[in-house]
Amino acid sequence: MKIAYFTHSLRSCWNHGNAHFVRGVLGALVARGHDVRALEPAGNWSLTNLLADAGEAGLDAWRAAYPELGVTEYLLSPSPPDAEHRRAEGVRGSQGASPSPPVSAANGERGGPGWGNAAPDGNCGPGGGSPTPALPALRRFASGGEGDATLDPVALIANADLVIVHEWNDPALVASLGRARARGGRFTLLFHDTHHRAVSDPDAIRAFDLSGYDGVLAFGEALSEVYRRWGWGARVWTWHEAADVRRFHPPAVEGARAGLVWIGNWGDGERTAELETFLLAPARAAGLTLDIYGVRYPAEAQAMVADYGARYGGWLANAAAPGVFARHLATVHVPRRFYTTLLPGIPTIRVFEALACGIPLVSAPWDDAERLFRPGDYLTAADGAAMTRQLAALRDDLALRAATAAAGLETILARHTCDHRADELLAIVASLRTPARNVA
């Protein structure tokens, strides 16, 4: 198939954890022989911050780790001045109608050979259909450099078989792609939600016009239930994130390990107390050095980290995380509050990645409501004192570390790789392949 994925950014993982999974699953689809294209808006918030933080060299790890993934960069009308920052904070705040289910989820036959055969005026491609108003001009970007073509998003995906649109995208883009599908586009169109905004800020999700979409991919069953209540019924699928085991795996040769590592963003302070209770204080009490990596640590957060004797290393390219995990004894899962209350059962991507790298993990309170893991895949701690005891046990017991790491890795390889998710996606798409919609 020809597959297009609209993402906030594939190149940048700066405060953008979804890029981890998307890179992995698109790579798995490429390995299966599919023609994959990722599309991201020029000047996006994550990439802009990455370049400001680390310069052009900040993209080196991405380029080295994912040579098979190309990116098309397009220009889009500017959002309100603070819209991108507010999305990063999880409060996009747009108003609009509830994201309605499609009138029909019928899917057409595949488009013709090649990409982007539609005219720049927005015609929806092979099979005709009413012209869709073109979005502003684009410029194409590929891993080998930039080109001169100027096309709109509808033209870029005219011959696609499958189009997936992530929720961190402009509502105008989301609506335009839905109109192209509804007016005869011969591609399956899916919306991919990997955030808690459906419960924490539902108006932000209601800003999206999803009436032309064939279905929704939600990254947890609790989130799928929200969409079902909104009327999507059988057209929503739970599609968890997973580990890219082509890059995230135990080291080929074990080296020296010492101390604790935590990779995560400080964000808007929604888990400040939890980080102190389940990470900073227990690491110090257990006598373990602690290395912390991530972004959006304000001065007071960095001061707190220093007060506990931990080392703050700033932004870490996700492609470099396996090497960092390989130098440490253990890591910790401190879920955001929304994933312990309103959306239980959704782990952070770091859980999948850490277990895939063969590092023991201890989790703060979190309900594995979907039984993604087995008892023993990771250790648990009900409070700060229990976390200290678990970390001390891992510090002193080589056999415990080995058994915990082996169990977690076994479950990842059996159930939670990007190859598993690619297979799940292809099965979902196959279930939607029915005769083409009639063009109004």
pLDDT surpasses 50 at 235? yes
Domain assignments of the chain as residue spans, ordered by start: 2-242+419-432, 260-416
pTM of the model: 0.85
Higher pLDDT, 127 or 351: 351
Q: What is the mean pLDDT of residues 418-438?
A: 85
Q: Is 354 exposed, middle or buried (0-12, 13-18, 19+ CB in 10 A)?
A: buried
Which residues are bridge partners to 238 per DSSP?
218
pLDDT tens digit string along 177-196?
999 999 999 999 999 999 99
Higher pLDDT, 310 or 118: 310
Dihedral sign for Cα 42, 47, 49, 50, please. Answer: negative
User: Token pair 């992995």 is at which residue?
Assistant: 24
Q: What is the mean pLDDT of the chain?
A: 85
| Residues 249 and 417 sit within 8 Å (Cβ to Cβ) | no
Q: What is the mean pLDDT of residues 247-255?
A: 97
Q: What is the mean pLDDT of residues 60-83?
A: 78
pLDDT surpasses 60 at 103? no
Give the integer Cα–Cα distance in Å for 75 and 221.
34
At 304, which amino acid appears?
M
Give the integer Cα–Cα distance in Å for 430 and 115.
21
Q: Are strands 361-363 and 330-333 parallel, antiparallel or unpaired?
A: parallel
Q: What is the CATH number of domain 260-416?
A: 3.40.50.2000
Q: Are strands 260-263 and 330-333 parallel, antiparallel or unpaired?
A: parallel
At 112, is the pLDDT very low, low, confident or very high (cuts 50, 70, 90)?
very low
pLDDT tens digit string along 123-180?
222 223 333 333 333 333 333 333 333 357 778 887 999 999 999 999 999 999 999 9
pLDDT tens digit string along 285-326?
999 999 999 999 999 999 999 999 999 999 999 999 999 999
pLDDT surpasses 60 at 100? no
End-to-end CA distance of the chain: 26
Q: 2-242+419-432 belongs to which CATH class?
A: alpha beta
| Residues 346 and 219 sit within 8 Å (Cβ to Cβ) | yes
Q: What is the mean pLDDT of residues 102-128?
A: 32
Give the integer Cα–Cα distance in Å for 146 and 195.
31
Torsion, Cα 6 196 331 59, to 10 degrees, reads 30
- pLDDT of amino acid 134: 33
